[in-house]
Every structure is written in C-alpha cells, then in structure tokens.
Structure 1
Amino acid sequence: MRRADRLFQIVQHLRSGRLLTAAHLADRLEVSQRTIYRDIADLIGSGVPIDGEAGMGYMMRDGYDLPPLMFTHDEITALVAGARLLRAWGGAAMALGAENALDKIETVLPDDARLKARSVHIHALAPRGMDDEMRARIDALEAHAEQQVRLRLAYCDAAGAATMRVIRPLGLWYWGAVWTLVSWCELRSDFRMFRLDRVKTIEVLDSYTPLPGQTLADFFEQEAGCGKLSDLN
C-alpha cells in the first residue's frame, strides 16, 4: 500500500470516533506500530486534529472531514472514460482497479461533480480477441515488468515463423487494436516490441537489474531521437 493510501485509511479509521490503538491500526493496515506512530505524527503535523498518545490510543476530534475532491469537467470525463476503456481493453486486475478507484473518487465528489461523472457519454466495447486468457496475460506481463523478471517467450513473428526469445520486460503499449510488450531482447541485444496475441507460452525465469542503456527511459529516449518505433516482431 502506498503511503498516501495508508494515511487516508488511518484518517478513515479514526473518523469512527472510537479510541484506536497503534497496534489495532497496524494490524488493520498490515504495517508495524512504528510506522503507525510516524504516520500519526505526520498527520498531526499537517493539521489533522488527532488526540491521544503512544500506548493509550488515538481518536479524532469531532467536526473534521476530508475536503471534497475538486475536478474540472474535463478531468471527470477523462477519469470516467479511462476507467471504461480499461474495463473494455485492459487486463482483468487493472480493469477492476480502475472501477474501484472511480467508485472511491465518486463517494467524495460534491453532488454536482458526481452527476457529471454519471453523465459521461463515452463508452467502449472489448475488441475481438479480448477474452479471459488475454486479460490474464496482460495482468501477468504488467506484473513481470514491474517486478523486473526475465521471461522466455515462445513467439510467432509477423511472417508466422516460430521463435524463442529471452527478454527483459519493460512495459506495455496499447495501439488501439493490439497490446505490445516493450522489452530488452537478449537475442537481438536491442529493444523489441512483441504483440501479445502472438505470444504462445511464457516461462518465468529469474529477476534482473536494469542496465544502463536497457531501461524504459532509454527506450523512450531512443524513440524520441530516431523518430520511429523500435522493431515490432
């Protein structure tokens, strides 16, 4: 859990009006009591009216509420449209995450902004081939890129030729019709993009440490400099 999310959750728990110990909060948020003590101190320092002390417990004084989130009409449209696009075109986990995030935002929006969010007329249909298997593959490859795990792919290239590649996944790109995986290809010693619909099998190998010249930032710099996209296998 991100620290910002944890601070928000602490405030939500304390708004119950009950005296809560650091041990209770630590158990609910799955962190150490020391982390809770530090977070409480930071919240108090930022002006949140929390009373109590270590060993006794904490509670929030009456009358405190989180300020409503303020978004422009364009921002609300972008959030709703983005969640709907991910629901249609994304992995199962990221689609659910987008919807849950949108639900959380909607609960703290002012009434007029909530009405705007519900009246956005942008919708999306899942493209052909976006089945449960593809959604699971998107989620898995996103996780492998984040965790920096080397993979061995059984792959068919544009000509239909089978190939086996050991890659270092860097990130996913969506092209409006297909998803591609941006990677450092160990066979070619260069950046390559692999279409997810051409991946036959994925074998998880070991973790890797990004090397200079082989990172996603290096890929973006290379694309900006050459004015074209890296080879699509």
Structure 2
Amino acid sequence: MTLPLLVVTAVAAEAEAVRAGADPDHVVVETVGVGPAAAAAGTARLLASAGASASASGRGSGSASGNGPYRAVVSAGIAGGFVGRAPVGSVVVGVRSIAADLGAETPDGFLTVDELGFGTSVIDADPALVKALTDALPTAVPGDVVTLSTVTGTTATAERLARSYPQAVAEAMEGYGVAVAAAGLPFVELRSISNPIGPRDRAAWRLKEAFAALSTASGALWKACG
C-alpha cells in the first residue's frame, strides 16, 4: 500500500490553499493551530490517532517508528521572507527548521538552547524530500526557516535574526513544533512568502499571491514526496 503524505497547516486558509493544489488521493491536509506548541500537539495527535486506527484495523502502523500510516510529514503555509533572500510571492523549501527564540537572554546577548546545553534548536529536514521538492520546484528558494512564537515586527529584530541565521530564508511559527512531533518520519517545511520580515505593515502583505503560490507548489507534493 502506498502511504499518503500528512500536510499540516496553522490555519484553515492555508489548508484550503494546499488542498486546492494537492492530490486528494495521496495527500492528507489538516489544520493544527498557530505556534510551535499547538503545531507539535496537533501533529502528535494526528499521528497517534492514525496509528491507533491502523492498528485497530489490522493494517499495522505503516512506519517503523509507529507514528502512523504516513509517508512523511510536511509543515506548510505562508511566511515572512528575509529581505534579499526570499522575495514576496516566492516559495521556500526548509532545509532546517530552527527554534530561533528557544534559549535565554543574557547581558551579552541571546544564547540558544544548544549553547545552554539543554538540547537542540535545529532540526534538519529529510534530505531526500528537500532534493525532491527543489527538483520539482526549480524556482523555490532552499534555506533555513526560523520558527518564532512572536512574529517579527521591527527592523532591529529582523536585522538581528538575519545576522544570527545567515542561511535563513523565511520566518514562520510552526515548523520546529511539527518537526519535533514528526520524530521518526521524514519531515520538510514548505512555505510561500506573503511579506518581508520587518516592521508590521498589513497593507503591504500579499496574501492572495502567497496563497496562490502555495497552491501551485502543493501540486508538486505528491510527485516529489510520494
């Protein structure tokens, strides 16, 4: 049996955009909530529920990790793009998902959870999925996607993040949480850019264009990851 992809989004509008482009026979799209905690909990619940249903029907878990009958997990949605790296309307493929505000403030600056010795703030995407998506989406921008609980709204924060994460192309709120919950399953993050990272200016956001780009990119999901 060919296993489907599980694609999780933060909000319903993102899920609708993914469904508009994705193959409904092979791609399951669910909404899990905003922020890394909701995303992790929602994704874990979906994987556990699917695994329990598969076991009850006698079909087994579908994966060596027991995380449910899915080929892979994709965190998808819209995002802010780092200026000069990912323009508005573009699509990015996350090579790594980074919890950029997981750590501690000190008089000398921010220390990541890695530097504190309490774990890691970085989760690598599955290399095969990254390659497959970038091959299928030749105009997509590969790079790190930072996960934040608070969306950037100032030039100072945008500049600090750009310096701290020179390979980052986008900022979102769920990728790291989804990646944690997907432990044992291949994971990748797929985002379309609705606005530049910096001062919050809703009038400058291009949501229609970003949702259209997300739908188009979602058409490549099963081809690339199936």
Decide which structure has greater strand share.
2
TM > 0.5 between the two? no
Superposition TM-score, scaled by structure 1 size: 0.26
Higher RCO, 1 vs 2 (CA within 8 Å, ≥6 residues apart): 2
Decide which structure has greater helix share.
1
Q: Which protein shows a greater Rg?
A: 1
Superposition TM-score, scaled by structure 2 size: 0.27
